[in-house]
Structure 1
Amino acid sequence: MIDGLAASPDSDRTSSLFIAATLLCFCNLAKGPQDGQYLLYADTAEPEWLGLLQGVKSILAEHRHVLADLSDEDGRAGDVEESVGPDLALSGFSASFDKLKTSIESLRAEDESFAKYSRPVDDLQKCFDSAFWRQQGSDVIRVHSPAVFGWLYRLNAEYLKALQDGKPMALVIYAYYMVLFARLDRFWFVEGWVDHIMVDIQRRLHHTYKHWMEWPCLLAQPAESQSAGG
């Protein structure tokens, strides 16, 4: 189906192609955790889900002008809803995340190869900052799913290679992201992925990096007091 749509790139077919590719990503998630597959990396070869995501990115990059009308910057009613800071939604966020960023900056000062982690961790902080919201007058904190998936979409090749190679700091950053991904727990198609990925990250990490896992392990679990929203 996708090959047929791609052969005739008019507006309607391009939109259908983009939607079909996006649905394939979610269908792959919905299959549940697969042995050796961890969304952004795999035990061998290229991770299956990442390949599907790259397909979505390729379509969007090539036909951005056609697909612009499909985008909705914020599907929520901004006049009745308000942003919520991550510290209110996640206990200990600032203290833990600031420590992570400071450590990366210190490591970069000694070894420039750590520069590849600056952009992903900065973007991850922006995702945390924009992910949470609630309706005015309500105490129920919800998560804005596009903010969560946006981090995955924007990752660059250098970080993804470090993750595939099992570089410890790349794995630690991914574990911090899992705290955000876990907030999507009411979406059935992500069920099981957080535990699957967190277990593998801990298995791969050298013991000298294990202290970085304390906060992610504590928070990367379904939050019963929060509900996931679009």
Structure 2
Amino acid sequence: MQQESPLSESGSTPQDAQYENAASKITRKSHRKSRAGCTNCKMRRIKCDELKPHCTNCERRQVQCSFASERSKSDRAIYNTRADVSELDLSQIELTYHWTTTTSRSLSAWWSGAAVWQSLLHDIALGHTHVLHLMFALTALQLASCRADRRKYYITLADRHYEAALSNVTHAMANIDKDNSDAVLVSVQLICFVNWAKGPREGEYLAFGTQGRSDWLIMFRGVRTTSEASKQHTSKDVSDARVPQSRPLSSLCEPTGWESQLTELHEHVFAISAPTEKREDTRALDILRECFTSRYHGEDSEYHVVFAWLYKMSDNFLDRMQQHDPIPLIIFAHFVVLMQEMEQFWYMKDWTKHCMSGIHDALGKEHRPWIKWPMAKIGWIPP
């Protein structure tokens, strides 16, 4: 009788069957269920291998796979992103670079003050576009002053950024709070710089105008109004930018004879001022003397020291100057001597003699002898 093989099916035992079932469970491959198949495979309820851009089932059946359309959308998105990136505003890149390397450094006589302008405005401008526009406007004007072949282009660019900033600044000034006070204060200062940088204009003499009130003075007085309104909100960094650390000017810069001249002028003003204006006029001279002293003998010679005189003048005093009252005009002529040192800055070029000419023309002949000293100190001779 032929013996059956122990490996044959007929020769297997119940115990062998148990071993085979256990081995089958151990060796069976597990698989991950996925819901990411293509649309066609989902509709046919068959397994999709999820190959892209065409799964195997769609490729075999020669039908459009949904993965292919998804790839097309992705390609279009990438193309659009590349198009946006390629459309850079090169003028703004140029202005940002020039602001950082040059313009910001021209807003202070000393390195410490320039460094504050350089870093502070970037921090503020990124959150307040009107500050950024004013930075660009001022920078474009500086480029216009040193690149004659493209002067018209840069002036147009400056005007565009300046106009873009004004409406937002006006709104912000009317709604000062802790979130925008730093930006508003820096903005009104930059507006003053921009108006200087536009250069002297007929009828505009900073403290007064012959065709209505001085536009620059309105902006400058806005600095005081904004400072007072935002005092409780303004950060220390912005205060430091407004009043940076500095040092006194060299004695070589000091105009000779200013102390005796102001003393003599004080006596003259006290003698001819109307009783109702005497106190106001002598106060204006006292503050002017303080400005001269701070400028040449104090610890600070920054531009804000020079313009502290205008900053502190009463509205009535400035109104009288606008009306060509001789006493305010004569005192202003002596203030112009302080301004001359600021012509080291590109944005103050030609303003000193321009203002003196406006004062001379506004004064009657009987009062012009009192501005001979300031005229001589700045080297201006009437035409």
TM-based fold match above 0.5: yes
Partner of 1:228: none
Distance in 2 of aligned mates of 1:96 and 1:17: 39
Give the secondary structure class of the aligned counterpart of 2:375.
Answer: helix
In the TM superposition, residue 45 of structure 1 has moved relative to its aligned partner by: 2.1
Q: Quick one: structure 1 residues 199 and 52, their matched pair in 2 at CA, closer, same or farther if it must change by over 3 Å?
A: same
With structure 2 as the length reference, what TM-score do the two structures score?
Answer: 0.50
8 Å contact kept, 2:262–2:285:
no
Q: Quick one: structure 1 residues 112 and 3, their matched pair in 2 at CA, closer, same or farther if it must change by over 3 Å?
A: closer
Distance in 1 of aligned mates of 2:295 and 2:194: 23
Q: Quick one: structure 1 residues 96 and 14, their matched pair in 2 at CA, closer, same or farther if it must change by over 3 Å?
A: same
With structure 1 as the length reference, what TM-score do the two structures score?
Answer: 0.81
In the TM superposition, residue 112 of structure 1 has moved relative to its aligned partner by: 3.9
How much is the aligned-residue C-alpha RMSD, in angstroms? 2.6
Q: Quick one: structure 1 residues 88 and 27, their matched pair in 2 at CA, closer, same or farther if it must change by over 3 Å?
A: closer
Distance in 2 of aligned mates of 1:55 and 1:211: 34
Q: Quick one: structure 1 residues 30 and 74, their matched pair in 2 at CA, closer, same or farther if it must change by over 3 Å?
A: closer
- Alignment of structure 1 residues 158-197 onto 2, 5 Å: 158-197=316-355
Distance in 1 of aligned mates of 2:319 and 2:280: 10
- The reply on whether 1:59 has 2:223 as its aligned counterpart is no
Distance in 1 of aligned mates of 2:216 and 2:313: 14
In the TM superposition, residue 106 of structure 1 has moved relative to its aligned partner by: 2.0
Match of 1:148 among 297, 303, 306: 306
Distance in 2 of aligned mates of 1:7 and 1:43: 29
Give the secondary structure class of the aligned counterpart of 2:266.
Answer: helix
8 Å contact kept, 1:175–1:198:
yes
Pair member with larger Rg: 2
8 Å contact kept, 1:143–1:183:
no
Gaps in structure 2 of 5+ consecutive residues: 1-167
Distance in 2 of aligned mates of 1:179 and 1:18: 27
Partner of 1:129: 293
Q: Quick one: structure 1 residues 7 and 49, their matched pair in 2 at CA, closer, same or farther if it must change by over 3 Å?
A: closer
Give the secondary structure class of the aligned counterpart of 1:67.
Answer: coil
Distance in 1 of aligned mates of 2:206 and 2:327: 17
- The amino acid of 1:131's aligned partner reads R
Could you list the per-position Cα deviations for residues 130-159 of structure 1 after superposition, in whole angstroms to 9, with x for gaps in the alignment? 012599xxxxxx943221021121111111
Match of 2:181 among 10, 14, 21: 14
Gaps in structure 1 of 5+ consecutive residues: 136-141, 223-230
Identical columns (%): 24
- The reply on whether 1:33 has 2:200 as its aligned counterpart is yes
- The reply on whether 1:46 has 2:230 as its aligned counterpart is no
Q: Quick one: structure 1 residues 63 and 221, their matched pair in 2 at CA, closer, same or farther if it must change by over 3 Å?
A: farther
Give the secondary structure class of the aligned counterpart of 2:344.
Answer: coil
Higher relative contact order (CA 8 A, sep 6+): 1
Question: How many equivalent residue pairs?
Answer: 210
Give the secondary structure class of the aligned counterpart of 2:306.
Answer: helix
State which drifts further: 7-16 or 196-205: 7-16
In the TM superposition, residue 125 of structure 1 has moved relative to its aligned partner by: 0.5
Could you list the per-position Cα deviations for residues 18-71 of structure 1 after superposition, in whole angstroms to 9, with x for gaps in the alignment? 111110111011100111111111112221111111222221111111125222
- The amino acid of 2:269's aligned partner reads I
